[in-house]
């Protein structure tokens, strides 16, 4: 009797597990391993290894393998119901790549349950570390790939994203240029997601189209490798890549190593893993077109769902196929909580003081505007940090609190317009979503109700729900996505913030002005006031 489904999320700093009972709509078990604290021998800080050149950021894949063994061992001793798990899936931090040598497939297929995973898998890598999404050392390779393909417009249109430093293709190109012998010794290149699925299934797993879209190598419409992109990236790349499959593909039964070691059933299914963002979209119940979510974390991200594939002509946003069908878009704003904290601290406030100050000034901030680039920005691309203020004095606490939040929400509105979908509601998550005043500005600027979600571990939850969907479908009783995810979205108690009618068209005018200022300052950095604060 199988009742449960296991989802894992191998993120930057931790490996997290969630077991769901889909029939009851309940999470029955949760656990997590923190890479720095639990596996200190790998010497990571915040899950990664940095070279002196801070643009190079890698992580050891063997650490993720050890984390998997440690996590499942802890869960077993806590009584996790592994014998009743029908299927397992997972998600990984996107873009990171793992390089495997010729011994990988046979080693994975013959793991000895009496010995630890890490001891047996140490020899399967042709590159000891995996470049991860925080690595930004491939600007030259991005230029070379874009030039070979006929320009960034062509890259966006064919792969769904502009050639980006952290994306896998540019990373592979750099590896081939700097370490040609190791590239020659590489027989398979995996993503973090497909690597972890390979370990679980005891065979080289395919790459799912959701995570494949984060490589600058996949045709975003055909959902297959794009030959021109492969040729522009590195020689003989096609034979080093596994096939691309739909996100709910069953890779095979779980490897005997896991069955014997932890008591999984021999026929428990491993479902293809995907990227953490497509998986989070499921965990946040974004399964129909026109839905949107905003995560207000260290950085702010905006997810939107679309029925058809539409790409961002400016090359700022990314498009990934969704596990539940259709596509999702992703925008990543680096100056999120970081920028809000800088203003809060500059004026000696706590969050209550910040919120009160923000609320003391009317929407539109009496015409004051800030471009909040405390750090170089991803959307829009701003290479040099520098806050710009227009009609805004740096010492005015209240006006600065309102200005930073209005700027962030207006920027989301402007830079998500290419998606061509006006959301009817937005789910808010992440640390700053507890702040009602910030959500009020979001609702007013984006002109729709904002629901605060209590979902944490959204990527692992999404993985468990994908495992459930694929497993039930394979048994001939595919549930509707809507019914499957609905019980898991618990709105927080004070969950809904509506746009206020009295705001009127203040933000239509302000968005137009903001867009002009943003455009002009991209070409001419002169402004009323540029400062580092």
Residues contributing to the site for ligand ADP (CB under 6 A): 297-298, 337, 340-341, 351, 430-432, 434-435
Q: CB 197 → ligand XUL: shortest distance, Å? A: 16
CB 1 within 8 A of CB 11: no
Please identify which residue in the block is written with the tokens 């290149």: 189
432 binds, among ligand ADP, ligand XUL, none (CB under 5 to 8 A by kind): ligand ADP
Q: Interaction with ligand XUL in 2-21: which residues (CB under 6 A)?
A: 11-12
The CB-of-163 to ligand ADP minimum distance in angstroms stands at: 26
From the list ligand XUL, ligand ADP, none, partner contacted by residue 166 (C-beta under 5 to 8 A by kind) = ligand XUL
**DSSP state letter for 522:** H
Tokens encoding 406: 């209005």
* Ramachandran assignment for 326, one of left (phi > 0), alpha (psi -120 to 50 degrees), beta (any other): left
CA distance 213 to 168: 10
Q: Give 132 or 410: the residue with its C-beta nearer to ligand XUL.
A: 132
Are 171 and 177 spatial neighbours (Cβ–Cβ below 8 Å)?
no
DSSP state of 268: P
431 binds, among ligand ADP, ligand XUL, none (CB under 5 to 8 A by kind): ligand ADP
Q: How many CA atoms lie within 13 A of 476 on its CB side?
A: 0
User: Which window, 1-9, 91-99, 426-434, 471-479, contacts ligand XUL (CB under 6 A)?
Assistant: 91-99
- Pattern of binders to ligand XUL over 158-177, x per CB under 6 A? --------x-----------
Answer for which of 219, 276, 312, 377 binds ligand XUL (CB under 6 A) is 276
Q: Report what 95 binds from ligand ADP, ligand XUL, none; CB cut-off 5-8 Å by kind.
A: ligand XUL
- In angstroms and rounded to an integer, the radius of gyration of the C-alpha atoms of the chain is 23
Q: How far is the CB of 454 from ligand ADP (least distance, A)?
A: 13
Closer residue to ligand XUL (CB): 11 or 255: 11
Residue nearest to ligand ADP (CB): 431
The item of ligand XUL, ligand ADP, none sharing an interface with residue 276, based on CB under 5 to 8 Å by kind, is ligand XUL
CA-wise closest residue to 374 among 242, 502, 169, 533: 533
Write down the least CB distance from residue 275 to ligand XUL, Å. Answer: 6
Q: Which of 95, 188, 402, 466 binds ligand XUL (CB under 6 A)?
A: 95
Q: Which residues of 447-457 are buried (b: 16+ CB within 10 A; e: fewer)?
A: ebbbbbbebeb
Residue 450 near residue 428, CB atoms below 8 Å:
yes
Place of tokens 């679980």: 200
Say how far apart CA 357 and CA 363 lie, in whole Å. Answer: 12
User: Is the CB of 165 or the CB of 457 nearer to ligand ADP?
Assistant: 457
H or E element in which residue 162 lies: none
Site string for ligand XUL, 227-246 (x = CB under 6 A): --------------------
Which entry of ligand XUL, ligand ADP, none binds 337, CB below 5 to 8 A by partner kind?
Answer: ligand ADP
Tell whether residue 66 is a contact of ligand XUL (CB under 6 A): no
Cα(208)–Cα(28) distance, integer angstroms? 27
Q: Which does 515 bind (CB under 5 to 8 A by kind): ligand XUL, ligand ADP, none?
A: none
Binding mask 328-367 for ligand XUL (x = CB under 6 A): --x-x-----------------------------------
- Report yes or no: 275 and 218 within 8 Å, Cβ to Cβ: no
CB of 458 to ligand XUL, least distance (A): 11
125 forms beta bridges with 100
* Alpha helices in 202-265, H assignment, sequence order: 209-212, 227-233, 256-262
Residue 301: CB minimum distance to ligand XUL, A: 7
Q: Are 408 and 430 in contact (CB under 8 A)?
A: no
Record the tokens describing residue 235, joined without a space.
Answer: 């020689």
* Least Å from the CB of residue 346 to ligand ADP: 14
Select from 261-269, 270-278, 393-401, 448-456 the region that touches ligand XUL (CB under 6 A).
Answer: 270-278
Cα 388 → chain centroid: 29
For 468, residues 6+ apart whose C-beta sits below 8 A from its C-beta are 5, 20, 22, 86, 87, 479, 484
By beta-carbon proximity to ligand XUL, the closer residue of 94 and 416 is 94
Does the protein bind ligand XUL through residue 133 (CB under 6 A)? yes
- 483 Cβ partners below 8 Å, 6+ apart? none
Which residue's CB is nearer to ligand XUL, number 168 or number 365? 168
**Looking at beta carbons only, is 95 or 176 nearer to ligand XUL?**
95
Q: Judging by DSSP bridges, how do beta strands 14-21 and 26-34 pair with one another? A: antiparallel
Report the residue from 137, 158, 277, 433 that binds ligand XUL according to the rule CB under 6 A. Answer: 277
Q: Which of residues 133 and 481 has its CB atom nearest to ligand XUL in the complex?
A: 133
Indicate which of ligand ADP, ligand XUL, none lies near residue 277 (CB less than 5 to 8 Å, by partner kind): ligand XUL
Best CA proximity match to 19, nearest among 100, 106, 87, 93: 87
Minimum distance of ligand XUL from residue 96's CB (angstroms): 8
Cα torsion for 502, 504, 507, 513, to the nearest 10°?
-130
Q: In angstroms, what is the minimal distance from the CB of 312 to ligand XUL?
A: 13
Other beta carbons within 10 angstroms of residue 58's beta carbon come to: 21
Chain center to CA of 81:
29
**Contact flag: residue 320 with ligand XUL (CB under 6 A):** no
Residues that bind ligand XUL (CB under 6 A): 11-12, 93-95, 133, 166, 275-277, 318, 330, 332
């Amino acid at each position: 009797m199988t009742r449960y489904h296991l989802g894992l999320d191998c993120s930057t700093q931790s490996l997290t597990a969630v077991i769901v009972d889909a029939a009851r709509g309940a999470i029955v078990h949760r656990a997590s391993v923190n890479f720095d604290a639990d596996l200190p021998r790998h010497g990571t800080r915040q899950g990664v290894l940095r070279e002196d050149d801070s643009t190079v950021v890698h992580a050891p894949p063997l650490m993720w393998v050890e984390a998997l063994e440690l996590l499942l061992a802890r869960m077993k001793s806590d009584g996790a119901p592994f014998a009743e798990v029908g299927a397992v899936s997972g998600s990984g931090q996107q873009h990171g790549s793992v390089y495997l040598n010729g011994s990988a497939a046979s080693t994975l297929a013959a793991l000895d349950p009496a010995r630890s995973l890490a001891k047996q898998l140490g020899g399967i890598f042709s590159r000891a570390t995996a470049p991860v999404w925080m690595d930004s050392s491939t600007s030259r390779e991005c230029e070379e790939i874009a030039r070979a393909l006929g320009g960034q417009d062509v890259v966006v249109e064919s792969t769904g994203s502009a050639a980006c430093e952290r994306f896998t293709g540019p990373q592979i190109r750099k590896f081939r240029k700097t370490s040609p012998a190791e590239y020659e010794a590489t027989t398979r290149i995996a993503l973090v997601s497909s690597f972890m699925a390979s370990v679980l299934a005891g065979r080289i797993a395919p790459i799912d189209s959701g995570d494949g879209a984060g490589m600058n190598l996949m045709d975003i419409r055909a959902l297959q490798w794009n030959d021109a992109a492969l040729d522009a990236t590195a020689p003989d790349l096609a034979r080093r890549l596994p096939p691309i499959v739909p996100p709910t593909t069953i890779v095979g039964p779980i490897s005997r190593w896991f069955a014997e070691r932890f008591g999984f059933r021999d026929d428990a299914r491993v479902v293809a893993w995907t990227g953490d963002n497509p998986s989070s979209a499921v965990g946040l119940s974004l399964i129909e077109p026109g839905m949107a979510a905003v995560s207000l974390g260290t950085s702010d991200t905006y997810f939107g769902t679309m029925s058809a594939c539409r790409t961002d002509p400016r090359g700022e946003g990314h498009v990934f196929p969704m596990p539940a069908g259709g596509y999702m878009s992703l925008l990543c704003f680096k100056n999120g909580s970081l920028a809000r904290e800088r203003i809060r601290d500059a004026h000696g406030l706590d969050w209550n003081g910040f919120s009160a100050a923000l609320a003391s000034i009317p929407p539109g901030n009496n015409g004051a505007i800030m471009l909040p680039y405390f750090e170089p920005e991803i959307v829009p691309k701003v290479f040099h940090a520098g806050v710009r203020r227009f009609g805004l004095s740096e010492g005015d606490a209240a006006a600065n609190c309102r200005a930073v939040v209005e700027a962030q929400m207006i920027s989301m509105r402007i830079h998500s317009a290419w998606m061509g979908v006006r959301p009817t509601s937005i789910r808010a998550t992440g640390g700053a979503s507890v702040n009602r005043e910030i959500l009020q500005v979001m609702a007013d600027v984006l002109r729709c109700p904002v629901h605060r979600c209590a979902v944490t571990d959204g990527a692992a939850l999404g993985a468990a729900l994908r495992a459930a969907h694929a497993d039930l479908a394979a048994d001939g009783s595919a549930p509707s996505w809507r019914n499957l995810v609905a019980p898991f979205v618990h709105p927080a108690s004070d969950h809904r913030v509506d746009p206020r009618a009295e705001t009127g068209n203040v933000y239509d005018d302000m968005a137009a002005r903001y867009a002009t200022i943003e455009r002009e300052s991209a070409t001419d950095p002169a402004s009323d006031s540029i400062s580092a604060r």
